[in-house]
């Protein structure tokens, strides 16, 4: 019996359906919440620093504000970056599709990561705000695609290997979590060719070298701009906010000038990390002023806590990580982390705190032309009802993580390299940052596509193994 469509054509048709679905969801978002979502308080600092100096932002790397500033040379309409981010979301899905299809030679598993981006309501929500996640997703997808091309075409080095490094650095300058992807990408490229280990070093060495040069150049620019040689801003403050929850100043002597950072309250009664970063009652704010001041001093205090209480610190870090996989084990405390829907929920277009919305809009209008937000209740209700059934939440994160672990040990070399690149790379960007920042469900949204790709590759490997087993039974009827 002939198929209605040849396999490649059928897969392309399925991709077309997914793209149309993703485009339709984005159009609903645009029509229902015009011109931009204003419920995330981080939006206005991005806009403010786009209008002044992106490198001066003490909370975020300068990549996203720089992108906004570049767009701002053309127009100060806030709708333009939002529309651009929605288009970039579609592009990210296609890049992931092309990357997985090229890696394993089949378009069907490649549909899974494409769907994870195209139909992901949380991804669309973040694209619809002035937040770095939208451009970060496409930069990461570009780095993944270029890495796969580098597996097939390692020479010339200046082409795909260099492109993968440049795109990975671009992602890291949008969100510093991307820094943890770079070593995984280099390791994946080293593992990709069945050659002696020395011969395999050329490509990953180039990736590390190019990434290092670009990051050093950025850090030097930061030093010239604000006196801080850094890629990730205010690392001392953020590490302090993580360790202030557990610091027991009775078991060590705080570094000189930092004794006032000790919180006298018992650890179970202390608030979350955000309180130590932003609340006027924070010891750091009272002693040293706004976020970013005396960063090295706060870093010294935080490192002293870790040195003298390593077990407590590791236990605290594990608690932050487990929140992504079992949110019920991470109950909300004032100023602490929370699950995805505490920040990313379409119903907030109608029900969010008016004071936060007003502050966000006023802050954004320091850079953008004045705008009025229009909300369609019917469209928002539809998106709100759609988001939970199709959310990349704790269940799917756990499932894709388990498949990633399995996929590292089964299947052809290319498939295992793909699982390392997509899956371990995605998890690295989620897990390792918790050593310095707290759990926040929003942070798992950008890795939905890579994790879905890893899981799909693992399932393809299982199918590949089963098909080989069945073929062996046909060729050898006596085979059990």
Residue 120 lies in a domain: yes
Q: Beta partners for 129?
A: 37
Q: Is 385 within the bounds of a domain?
A: yes
Does a structural domain hold residue 237?
A: no
311 domain residue, yes or no: no
Domain housing 450: 7-229+345-469
**How do residues 423-436 score in pLDDT, each as one tens digit?**
999 999 999 999 99
How far is residue 59's CA from residue 228's CA, in Å, rounded to a whole number?
Answer: 13
Q: Kindly state the DSSP code that residue 269 receives in the 8-state scheme.
A: G
Question: For the residues of 389-453, what is the DSSP string, one character each?
Answer: TT---HHHHHHHHHHHHHHTTSS-HHHHHHIIIIIIHHHHHHHGGGGTS---GGGGGGGHHHHHH
**What distance separates the 2 farthest-apart alpha carbons in the chain?**
81
| pLDDT number for residue 199 | 73
Q: According to the model, what pLDDT value does residue 373 have?
A: 96
pLDDT at 301: 98
Q: Is 224 exposed, middle or buried (0-12, 13-18, 19+ CB in 10 A)?
A: exposed
335: left (phi over 0), alpha (psi -120 to 50) or beta: left
Decide: 242 and 335 in contact? Cβ < 8 Å: no
Which segments within 94-206 are labelled E, that is strand? Answer: none
Is 248 inside any structural domain? Answer: no
- Are 77 and 368 within 8 A, CB to CB? yes
What is the Cα–Cα distance from 146 to 185, expressed in whole angstroms?
10
Q: What is the DSSP string of 435-480?
A: GTS---GGGGGGGHHHHHHHHHHHHHHHHHHHHHHHHHHHH-TT--
Rounded CA separation 13/19 (Å): 10
pLDDT in tens, 247-291: 999 999 999 999 999 999 999 999 999 999 999 999 999 999 999
Of 301, 298, 280, 326, whose CA–CA distance to 439 is shortest? Answer: 326
Q: How many CA atoms are closer than 13 Å to the CA of 364, on its beta-carbon side? A: 29
Q: Where are the beta strands (DSSP E) in 61-187?
A: none
pTM attached to this predicted model: 0.95
Q: Which SS3 state, helix, strand or coil, does residue 53 take?
A: coil
User: Is the sign of the CA dihedral 225, 230, 233, 238 positive or negative?
Assistant: negative
Note whether 305 and 258 are within 8 A (CB): no
The alpha-helical segments, DSSP class H, found in 157-309 are 160-174, 181-191, 202-226, 235-243, 273-278, 283-288, 295-308
CA distance 449 to 422: 9
pLDDT of residue 330: 87
Domain count along the chain: 1
The answer to whether residue 41 is domain-embedded is yes
In a domain, 97, yes or no: yes
Q: According to the model, what pLDDT value does residue 5 have?
A: 47
Residue 251 CB coordination number (10 Å): 10
Give tens-digit pLDDT for 58-102.
Answer: 999 999 999 999 999 999 999 999 999 999 999 999 999 999 999
As averages over each run of 10 residues, the pLDDT of the chain (480 residues) reads 60 97 98 97 95 94 98 98 99 99 96 98 98 98 98 92 98 98 98 79 96 98 92 95 95 95 94 95 96 95 97 96 94 89 93 89 97 96 93 97 98 96 99 94 97 98 86 62
Give the span between the Cα atoms of 132 and 148, in whole angstroms. 24
Domain annotation covers residue 447 = yes
Residues facing residue 33 across a β-bridge: 375
The tokens 């995984």 sit on which residue?
Answer: 184
Question: Could you give the CA distance from residue 7 to residue 5 in angstroms, rounded to a whole number?
Answer: 6
Supply the pLDDT for residue 136.
99
Q: Which of 459, 480, 458 is nearest to 469 (CA)?
A: 480
Say which residues have a Cβ less than 8 Å from residue 459's Cβ, sequence separation at least 6: 109, 403
Residue 2 has a pLDDT of 44
């Amino acid at each position: 019996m002939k198929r209605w469509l040849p396999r490649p054509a059928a897969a392309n048709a399925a991709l077309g359906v997914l793209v149309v679905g993703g485009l339709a969801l984005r159009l609903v978002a645009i029509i229902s919440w015009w011109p931009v979502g204003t419920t995330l308080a981080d939006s206005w600092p991005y806009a403010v620093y786009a209008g002044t100096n992106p490198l001066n932002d003490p909370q975020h790397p300068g990549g996203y504000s720089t992108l906004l500033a570049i767009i701002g040379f053309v127009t100060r309409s806030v709708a333009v970056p939002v529309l651009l981010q929605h288009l970039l979301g579609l592009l990210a899905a296609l890049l992931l599709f092309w990357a997985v299809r090229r890696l394993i030679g089949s378009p069907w598993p490649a549909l899974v990561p494409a769907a994870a981006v195209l139909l992901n309501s949380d991804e669309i929500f973040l694209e619809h705000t002035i937040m770095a996640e939208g451009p970060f997703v496409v930069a990461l997808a570009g780095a993944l695609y270029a890495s796969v091309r580098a597996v097939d075409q390692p020479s010339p080095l200046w082409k795909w290997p260099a492109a993968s490094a440049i795109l990975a650095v671009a992602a890291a300058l949008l969100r510093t979590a991307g820094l943890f992807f770079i070593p995984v990408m280099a390791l994946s490229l080293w593992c990709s060719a069945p050659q002696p280990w020395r011969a395999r070093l050329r490509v990953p060495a180039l990736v590390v070298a190019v990434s290092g040069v670009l990051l050093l150049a950025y850090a030097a620019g930061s030093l010239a701009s604000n006196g801080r040689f850094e890629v990730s801003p205010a690392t001392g403050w953020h590490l302090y906010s993580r360790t202030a929850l557990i610091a027991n100043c009775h078991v060590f002597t705080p570094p000189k000038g930092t004794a006032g950072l000790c919180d006298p309250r018992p650890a179970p009664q202390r608030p979350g990390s955000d309180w130590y970063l932003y609340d006027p009652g924070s010891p750091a704010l009272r002693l040293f002023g706004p976020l970013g001041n005396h960063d090295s001093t706060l870093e010294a205090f935080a490192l002293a806590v870790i040195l003298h209480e390593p077990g407590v610190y590791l236990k605290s870090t594990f608690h932050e990580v487990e929140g992504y996989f079992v949110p019920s084990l991470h109950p909300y405390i004032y100023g602490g982390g929370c699950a995805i829907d505490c920040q990313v929920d379409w119903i907030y277009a109608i029900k969010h705190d008016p004071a936060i919305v007003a502050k966000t809009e006023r802050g954004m209008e320091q850079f953008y032309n004045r705008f009025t937000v229009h909300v369609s209740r019917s469209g928002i209700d539809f998106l709100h009802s759609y988001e939970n059934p199709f959310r990349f939440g704790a269940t799917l994160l756990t499932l894709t993580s388990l498949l990633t672990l399995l996929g590292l040990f089964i299947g052809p070399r290319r498939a295992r390299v793909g699982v390392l690149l997509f899956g371990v790379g995605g998890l690295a960007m989620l897990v390792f940052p918790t050593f310095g920042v707290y759990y926040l469900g929003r942070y798992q949204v950008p890795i939905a596509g890579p994790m879905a790709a890893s899981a799909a590759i693992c399932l393809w490997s299982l199918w590949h193994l089963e098909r080989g087993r069945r073929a062996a039974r046909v060729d050898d009827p006596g085979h059990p």
